[in-house]
Amino acid sequence: MNFKSKVKAYYKGIVFNLSARNSLIFTIFYSVFYKPVRDSLDDFTSMFSVMTGNITVVQIGANDGINNDPIHKFIKRDRWQGVLLEPQKYVFEKYLKPLYSRTKGIMVLNAALDYTDGFKPIYKISVSNSRWATGLTSFNREILEEAVKSGYIDREANKEGSPLPEERNEYIAEESVECISTQTLLRRAGIKKTNWLQIDTEGFDFEIIKIFNIAVNKPTVIVYENLHLSPSTRDECISYLSLNGYTSQDYGANTLAMLNPPEELKHFFKTS
């Protein structure tokens, strides 16, 4: 690991510890000094959080809970409640669990969402437990195969000095994870109404939207990653959301969808 990477890792460690301890430094920064970019997804999140109050969140694919996580600062700043799921055992135990162990109202579960309760295989990069690698973990093995084929894994592993196996088929490992249904999840977490559904499942996002049964559970806001969806799946997902009453807008790699946006938030949906 080069000097720049070491400094970056040190800084991230400080921020992680401040958040995990629910430090006033962390809270005051995001309450007083933090200003999201105007008309950005963060701007929407901040406004919605303040307007609504008492947010109940369900996050599917929380990873370490902080790096590249668009809602972490708002969970801590505005005291959101709810449940966060992460299927990777290492990431869950090392990062997500300690990050929220002192946060009242937030439950973390080492599980994945599926149509039924049980176990199924998930695929992950075998050469590293860094965020760039764990963030690729998916039920869709093709996502990881493409990352290997493109040379992305080689480049990132070389940057941090992680040794690579001789055979490329050894770049990807399989892990069995617990899966729970939406009904089981909401019952276990004691959730009756979901204000915010956050999804980042590396290409499985549309499936999660269907699994969550939005026609019945009707989360007010849904944010999902569109990055690994094919153009046809993106269009199909938007149509599915529209049929269920949602207005949608892309924000880079993420898509924001909302049921009946109020007047104050309509400008975030430019195509509506």
Instruction: Write the CA distances from 92 to 58, 61, 65, 109, integer angstroms.
Output: 16, 10, 9, 8
Residues whose CB falls within 8 Å of the CB of residue 86, separated by 6 or more in sequence, listed in order? 61, 62, 63, 65, 92, 96, 108, 109, 110
Which of the residues in the chain have pLDDT under 50?
A: 272
Pairing status of strand 196-199 against strand 172-180: unpaired
Domain 36-114+182-268 annotated CATH 3.40.50.150: yes
**219, 196 contact by CB (below 8 A):** yes
Query: Residue 2: its pLDDT value, please?
Result: 66
* Alpha carbons 19 and 17: distance in angstroms, whole number: 5
Chain-centroid distance, C-alpha 15: 18
* Alpha carbons 228 and 140: distance in angstroms, whole number: 10
Eight-state DSSP code of residue 180: E
- β-bridge partners, 121: 176
Query: Residue 1: its pLDDT value, please?
Result: 58
Nearest to 138 by CA among 217, 200, 213: 200
Give per-residue pLDDT as tens, 204-239: 999 999 999 999 999 999 999 999 899 999 999 999
Domain coordinates of the chain in residue numbers? Answer: 36-114+182-268, 120-175
Please give the torsion angle defined by the CA atoms of residues 217, 196, 237 and 110, in that order, rounded to the nearest 10 degrees.
-90
Sheet holding 118-125, edge to edge: 112-113, 172-180, 118-125
Residues whose CB falls within 8 Å of the CB of residue 187, separated by 6 or more in sequence, listed in order? none
Query: Residue 166: its pLDDT value, please?
Result: 85
Query: Residue 179: its pLDDT value, please?
Result: 96
**Triad 142, 163, 136: Cα angle to 5°:** 30
